[in-house]
Chain A
Amino acid sequence: MPVHILRSRFDAVMSLIKTNWFPRALHHDFCPWANAYVYWLKRPIGWVILAFASSLLLGIYVSPQAFTASGAIAAVGIIGSLWPWLSTLGLKGQLAWSPSRCEQFDTIETTLTVTNRWPWPVWGMVLESDEGISGSSNSRNVRISLSRIPGLSKSQFRWNCSPAYRGIYPKTTPRLSTAFPFGIWSCNQPLKVTEPLVVWPRMTKLVDVPSNTGNQVLGIGGTTDRAGDDGEWIGVRAYRPGDSLRQVHWAQTARRDNLVVFERQSRSQQTVRIQLDSAAFAEDAPSVNDAMVRTFASVANHFLSHAWNTMVAIDAPWASLHPSKRTTWLDHLAGWEPTQLPEPPLSSASPTQKSNTLSILVTSAKRWDQQHHQSIYRTSPSTYVLLVDDTHAVDSARSDWSCKPSNTWSIPTGETFEDSLRTVWREICQTSLAQGVSCAS
């Protein structure tokens, strides 16, 4: 048989062994029933105890020379256990962030103040904290470590941190732990936190603002001389069916012998309703969940900054946002977690909602595909649906766009999320312009 065939077969066999049999053999649990009894071997101290017991038994029954080994192992075990305990005994620490509120991926300064009340120094401390804030800006996956804390001293450690996830930290008590010198047993000391760190979802700066007020230019703030229901009365007109009897101008009515009503100004501040579909949150799609919240926050913040009457809802009755309560709302959003409650019904249009109120729904493409909401939003031309999707789903979704209503927009997650959001938003504004509304930028 030719050599090259032999070689190829050999390579195939070795490849099979390497990629299939051998790893499978290494990772297969041959006796799962024993896991409950040997779980302690996962920790190094378990091996030390096992080695000590083995050498002790060997010393008793085989040869007294094994006592030397058992003594050495016992010494290592005792030193490895006592040293970390003694090290952490006199430590007291405090963790603080500056500033205490930030957005995702912002660089903030973390200060760790450790007081060592014992006369001996402590080496090899590690900060155990929530994922996302336990690393530095340069290497988020590497935990912060302290090389040495001198005895009878107060040490301050500072580093820059970029929280990767929104939330109110710390979610778990941060601890200083050490397993120095041998790494077989670790002891820890909880840290005090003076003020929690609130990480808001990262908000993308949007540029355009869609309008829903016809051909007229909007005024920002106050009322305009356009007929409406707010502000001062600007004139009278004939009664139309549907007008409230409170608006009847009785004097003019008596003069003209026809019902005449007041005409009032209208608010120049338009209303937008933004809803986040909490049922779209899935545990297996953290990037989609994060992107949905970011989209929701970015859009709401954008309208708020343009003095729109912003109404937001997340599984709850609509709440009106005010610029003075922006911080409170963002704090709430930072700490919000989707609940396990049954799927809440999406808020349908309230009886007082006018058909031309701008509505924005933020949901996921997967959820949209369940076609639960299309019927609700199909008939409303001023409703826009933002579908957050991960990168893989975008390709498949494109082929299905012809089935979606024209007011749905997909935003892929990933590194280009912010650019995609801006692009989509611009398209939304242009679309609203093409549909006969003016777009003020």
Chain B
Amino acid sequence: MTIPNASKNWTVFLLASLASLSILSLRLSGSSDRIWLSCEFAFIWFVAFFVRWVSSHQSKTNRPKEAAVQKVPAASLGTPGWLLFLGTIAILSPWLSSIAQVRLLGSSGEANELIWLAMLQYAALWGAAVAERDRSEWISFLMSCFLVIFGLATSDRPNMIQLVIPFAAVACWWLMAKYWVSIEQGFVASESVPLIRMRALVLGSIALIAGITLAIMTKQSIRNSALDGFMPTSGGQKRGESWSRQGVGDGDMLVAAKDEAYTFGPVDSDLFLDSEVPSMYDMVSEMYGEPTPRQRQYARAISLENQAQELEEEGTESKKNSREFSVLRQPNQKTQNHRPTGSDSRAVLYLVGRTPQWLRLESYDRFSDNTWSHSENIDLSRRHGEPTLESIAGKPWMRLQSFARDLVFPVHERIATKVIQFKSPRLLTPSLITFTHIDRIDQPDFFSWTRDGQLMMPNREHVPQLTVVHQLLQIPQLHPLRDTNNPLSNISHLSRAHTSDDWIQRYTHVDSTSPRIRSTLDDWFRATKQESGQPTTDWQRIETIVRNLRTFQHDNHSVPPADCTDTIPYVLEKKCAPDYLIASTAVMLIRKLGIPCRLCTGFFASPARYDARAGQTEVIPEDLHTWAEVYIHGIWIPIEPTGSYPQPREHRSWQQWAIQTAWLIRDTIRTHPIACSLFACGLGLAFYFRRSIVFGATCLILVLIPLLSESTKLRMTLRLLRWREWLWSQHRAPRTTLQDWLSGKLKSLTRTTNLDTATFIRSAQRMAYGPKKNTLLWTDHETQSIRSVYRSLLCSGIFGCRRLRPTQSSQTVVTTPQGKDSNFVFE
């Protein structure tokens, strides 16, 4: 009994077995005669296995030649007849088994589709068992793949995946092995030399990785990065890290360390002594100086009753509580640094988010006797309403206020602040804040509003230090206010009827009666009207005021004298003042137009203090700042009248941006006509001489690059000439030989001798038409001519081309190698 010698590869048999199992599971799932089917499969499989095993052992003893295996004539099969007969029985066994099931077991048998599948399954199995050629293996493999795909598609059993995964892995491996076996007989030995030395490769890889890492770390836009994560070890990145220690997003343990003594936290209560934390009053005094004491004339002195003393103390206390802000101050000569023990940072707070940012703490409506204060009869807290709790991304956020869609950009921006050393129950917030969030705080009554409309934490002396406050804000879009046809552009309250209880009236009251205010306004508006020639809206008038005030010099030490009764005219006259005075002036001037306006104090987060490594902005006591806010259709819009501070951001559409840019260009041209004319002339000249400039720049670059070999110089010369042709849109005439082309070009572009030119041309021809060799050897004369032509071409490109001028006076006559005399002169 002989069995054809099959390949030793059992992989195809394994694949067929796995495919068979997948079909078997399909058959078993819908059959009631599972034992019968299992026995049938086991029997066929064992027979196939036995045939496979015998054939693989037989191949050890009488293995045919390779040629015989590969080139079995198609006209005959080497398989014995009895094996074919047995295979036929195996393939037909599902059909026979189904008949036996019906006749002997009385069952309903199997569905025809399953029978056909089973026949295909056994065909694949038998084919894998007796495969003696590559083609037979491939056919068996394809059948197995089909069976697996079909079984996977039609079966909803989870164990099908358990069969498919190993099948896929083994199939991939078999494909790889098949390809490898087909080529492994022809392997030849090799010797390899690395192109880059190992040391250079390793160092280069490290440098590349380091460079990429550095570029990623420093490339982030400093001012435009929205808050999406936090500093290293800060616990940000949308997941908490309990033990993080630095930055705004500190870990839970650090936050909890303040309340629970046993909790780990790098901050001990002794580090931040409440008594050493400055308040707003302290900071204002430190920054702007103490208020100038009023000189009081005493006619008589009597002792005051306790109640009066209490009132006096209350007044002092009100100053310290920042309810009053005097604009007559004596600047400090020394600065006191409040710094917590053990810390080198002077930060009052940290801000994560876009900068610049104006963080308001206090606002004043009443200006009397050079002092800003809060009116007692104004309670803006009622206008805001109580905060409401909302869930955003699974976190508890407090909705504070909403704004009209026409005047704000709908997309919210996010910032976060963390107070380090600042004592106040008020929260530092931007003007257009809409939501706020403190981690795990889900009680709306945790927040409330002050009478002047500032967010605060009630029933607390101050906001706990290291508390991270997340805030969402919106950006104003003010272009409708500039459109005279837009009803929103009317923001003045002069023409509106007010009742005595109208709180708006407090924000339009101007205490000063100096005529200078009106005259200044008239002058500025007249100038603006002359420039634009069009009627201006209220907002444009505000912009005019701000624009003119920004030309004033900002100097914190330029304060009015102590006896100054009305500081506003003083500022308008001197045009040099601290920021609080400039802001006060702006408020008064705007109020004069009947537009509600108020003074705000707080902190200015400067982009200059952005820490790229930590991704946060440090706010120090020197960032204390005073600005103004204008009330427009229910929104307090911040304005910045101090010239040394940037303007608050305003959202513009691209059309507005384009218009603004166009106006900016127009204004620039008007203000700097000579410079713009020169620039335009320069542009025109650059465009006119663009080709020469580009060619000259190319030649300049080549001058800086040292080329080592003469062959490279020759090639570069030819490339430069072609490049020049392309720049000037010149085309080489068809059927122009290299010699003709080069001689014409070099004659017009270079200043070399005819001998050098001819030698260069010959060298170029040799390079172009000669046998290809890696290196060409040049004679000294050829080297000299190549260098001369190359250098001359570069010089002509940089300094401009100069044609050779034929002259007839006594000159040197150069004889060319062809024996022709030349009358050209080389100066």
Which A residues fall within an 8 A CB radius of B?
A: 10-11, 14-15, 17-19, 22-23, 26-27, 47, 51, 54-55, 58-59, 62-63, 65-66, 68-69, 72-73, 76, 80, 115, 117, 124, 126, 135-136, 139, 142-150, 152-159, 179-184, 194
**Whole-angstrom CA separation of A68 from B192 in the bound complex:** 42
- Measured CB to CB, the closest approach of chain A to B36, in angstroms, equals 27
Nearest chain A residue, comparing its CB with the CB of B772: A194
In terms of DSSP, what is the predominant structure of the interface of chain A?
mixed
Other A-B contacts than A69-B148, A146-B190, 5 sampled, CB-CB below 8 A, are: A15-B81, A124-B179, A148-B190, A159-B188, A181-B172
CB of B729 within 8 A of chain A?
no
CB <8 Å contact, B188 and A181: no
- Measured CB to CB, the closest approach of chain B to A112, in angstroms, equals 8
CB <8 Å contact, A65 and B153: yes
CB of B662 within 8 A of chain A?
no
CB <8 Å contact, A63 and B156: yes
Pick from B145, B150, B179, B195: contact of A183, CB below 8 A: B179
B 77-121 contacts with A by CB, 8 A: 77, 79, 81, 84-85
Stretch at the interface among B160-168, B382-390, B815-823: B160-168
**Whole-angstrom CA separation of A22 from B75 in the bound complex:** 9
CB <8 Å contact, A124 and B164: no
Chain A residues with CB below 8 A from B75, complex form: 19, 23
**Whole-angstrom CA separation of A72 from B187 in the bound complex:** 31
In the complex where A58-B149, A136-B186, A159-B188 touch, is A152 in contact with B194 (Cβ < 8 A)? yes
CB <8 Å contact, B152 and A157: no
Residue of B142, B182, B195 ringed by the most chain A CB atoms within 10 A:
B195
- Measured CB to CB, the closest approach of chain B to A137, in angstroms, equals 11
CB <8 Å contact, A156 and B172: no
Chain A residues with CB below 8 A from B79, complex form: 18
CB <8 Å contact, B185 and A62: no
15 contacts between A and B (CB under 8 A): A17-B84, A18-B76, A19-B75, A23-B76, A47-B142, A51-B146, A68-B161, A76-B172, A115-B195, A139-B185, A147-B187, A150-B194, A152-B196, A155-B190, A183-B178
**Whole-angstrom CA separation of A57 from B185 in the bound complex:** 41
CB of B154 within 8 A of chain A?
yes
B 590-620 contacts with A by CB, 8 A: none
Chain A residues with CB below 8 A from B299, complex form: none
Chain B residues with CB below 8 A from A124, complex form: 179-180, 183
Pick from B76, B145, B175, B192: contact of A182, CB below 8 A: B175
In the complex where A22-B77, A58-B153, A59-B153 touch, is A126 in contact with B183 (Cβ < 8 A)? yes
CB <8 Å contact, A146 and B187: yes
Nearest chain B residue, comparing its CB with the CB of A10: B81
- Measured CB to CB, the closest approach of chain B to A45, in angstroms, equals 12
B 174-216 contacts with A by CB, 8 A: 175-176, 178-180, 182-196, 201
- Measured CB to CB, the closest approach of chain B to A76, in angstroms, equals 6
**Whole-angstrom CA separation of A80 from B178 in the bound complex:** 14
Residue of B155, B184, B192 ringed by the most chain A CB atoms within 10 A:
B192
- Measured CB to CB, the closest approach of chain B to A159, in angstroms, equals 5
In the complex where A126-B183, A144-B186 touch, is A66 in contact with B176 (Cβ < 8 A)? no
In the complex where A66-B149, A69-B164, A126-B183 touch, is A145 in contact with B84 (Cβ < 8 A)? no
**Whole-angstrom CA separation of A208 from B178 in the bound complex:** 55
In the complex where A15-B81, A51-B145 touch, is A150 in contact with B152 (Cβ < 8 A)? no
- Measured CB to CB, the closest approach of chain A to B200, in angstroms, equals 10
- Measured CB to CB, the closest approach of chain A to B394, in angstroms, equals 31
Chain B residues with CB below 8 A from A182, complex form: 172, 175-176, 179
Chain A residues with CB below 8 A from B187, complex form: 145-147
**Whole-angstrom CA separation of A180 from B179 in the bound complex:** 7
CB of B74 within 8 A of chain A?
yes
**Whole-angstrom CA separation of A109 from B190 in the bound complex:** 14
- Digitize B381-411: 1 where CB-to-A-CB distance is under 8 Å, 0 elsewhere: 0000000000000000000000000000000
CB <8 Å contact, A184 and B175: yes
**Whole-angstrom CA separation of A84 from B193 in the bound complex:** 23
- Measured CB to CB, the closest approach of chain B to A144, in angstroms, equals 5
CB <8 Å contact, A179 and B186: no
Chain A residues with CB below 8 A from B184, complex form: 145, 147
- Measured CB to CB, the closest approach of chain B to A7, in angstroms, equals 11
- Measured CB to CB, the closest approach of chain B to A276, in angstroms, equals 33
CB <8 Å contact, B183 and A143: yes
CB <8 Å contact, A153 and B175: no
Band of interface residues on B? 35 or more
- Measured CB to CB, the closest approach of chain A to B162, in angstroms, equals 12
Chain B residues with CB below 8 A from A135, complex form: 186
Pick from A19, A152, A156: contact of B76, CB below 8 A: A19
Pick from A22, A62, A80, A150: contact of B192, CB below 8 A: A150
CB <8 Å contact, B84 and A14: yes
B 18-52 contacts with A by CB, 8 A: none
CB <8 Å contact, B175 and A18: no
Chain A residues with CB below 8 A from B185, complex form: 139, 142, 145
- Measured CB to CB, the closest approach of chain A to B141, in angstroms, equals 10
**Whole-angstrom CA separation of A142 from B156 in the bound complex:** 48
Chain A residues with CB below 8 A from B164, complex form: 68-69, 72
**Whole-angstrom CA separation of A19 from B84 in the bound complex:** 13
Pick from A15, A62, A152: contact of B153, CB below 8 A: A62
Chain A residues with CB below 8 A from B195, complex form: 115, 117, 152-154
- Digitize B507-519: 1 where CB-to-A-CB distance is under 8 Å, 0 elsewhere: 0000000000000
CB <8 Å contact, B154 and A62: yes
Chain A residues with CB below 8 A from B190, complex form: 146-149, 155-157
Chain A residues with CB below 8 A from B193, complex form: 153-155
Chain B residues with CB below 8 A from A194, complex form: 772
**Whole-angstrom CA separation of A311 from B237 in the bound complex:** 92
Pick from A18, A27, A157: contact of B188, CB below 8 A: A157
**Whole-angstrom CA separation of A42 from B168 in the bound complex:** 22
In the complex where A14-B85, A54-B149 touch, is A157 in contact with B155 (Cβ < 8 A)? no
Chain A residues with CB below 8 A from B161, complex form: 68
In the complex where A58-B149, A66-B153, A155-B192 touch, is A23 in contact with B77 (Cβ < 8 A)? yes
**Whole-angstrom CA separation of A49 from B598 in the bound complex:** 73
In the complex where A47-B142, A66-B153, A145-B184 touch, is A156 in contact with B191 (Cβ < 8 A)? yes
Chain A residues with CB below 8 A from B196, complex form: 152
Nearest chain A residue, comparing its CB with the CB of B70: A141
Pick from A10, A18, A54, A154: contact of B77, CB below 8 A: A18
CB <8 Å contact, B186 and A126: yes
Chain B residues with CB below 8 A from A136, complex form: 186, 188
Return the 10 tightest CB-CB contacts between A and B, nearest first.
A14-B81, A183-B179, A66-B153, A145-B186, A58-B153, A145-B183, A182-B175, A155-B192, A159-B188, A153-B192
Chain A residues with CB below 8 A from B168, complex form: 72
Nearest chain A residue, comparing its CB with the CB of B141: A47
Nearest chain B residue, comparing its CB with the CB of A59: B153
Nearest chain B residue, comparing its CB with the CB of A72: B168
In the complex where A27-B74, A69-B153, A115-B195 touch, is A158 in contact with B189 (Cβ < 8 A)? yes
Chain A residues with CB below 8 A from B189, complex form: 157-158
Chain B residues with CB below 8 A from A184, complex form: 175
Chain A residues with CB below 8 A from B201, complex form: 152
**Whole-angstrom CA separation of A59 from B192 in the bound complex:** 48
**Whole-angstrom CA separation of A117 from B182 in the bound complex:** 27
- Measured CB to CB, the closest approach of chain A to B71, in angstroms, equals 10
- Measured CB to CB, the closest approach of chain A to B127, in angstroms, equals 13
**Whole-angstrom CA separation of A135 from B81 in the bound complex:** 38
**Whole-angstrom CA separation of A150 from B79 in the bound complex:** 44
**Whole-angstrom CA separation of A148 from B176 in the bound complex:** 15
Chain A residues with CB below 8 A from B142, complex form: 47
CB <8 Å contact, A144 and B179: no
**Whole-angstrom CA separation of A136 from B187 in the bound complex:** 10
- Measured CB to CB, the closest approach of chain A to B163, in angstroms, equals 12
Chain B residues with CB below 8 A from A26, complex form: 74
Residue of A27, A55, A136 ringed by the most chain B CB atoms within 10 A:
A55
Chain B residues with CB below 8 A from A55, complex form: 149, 153
Nearest chain B residue, comparing its CB with the CB of A148: B190
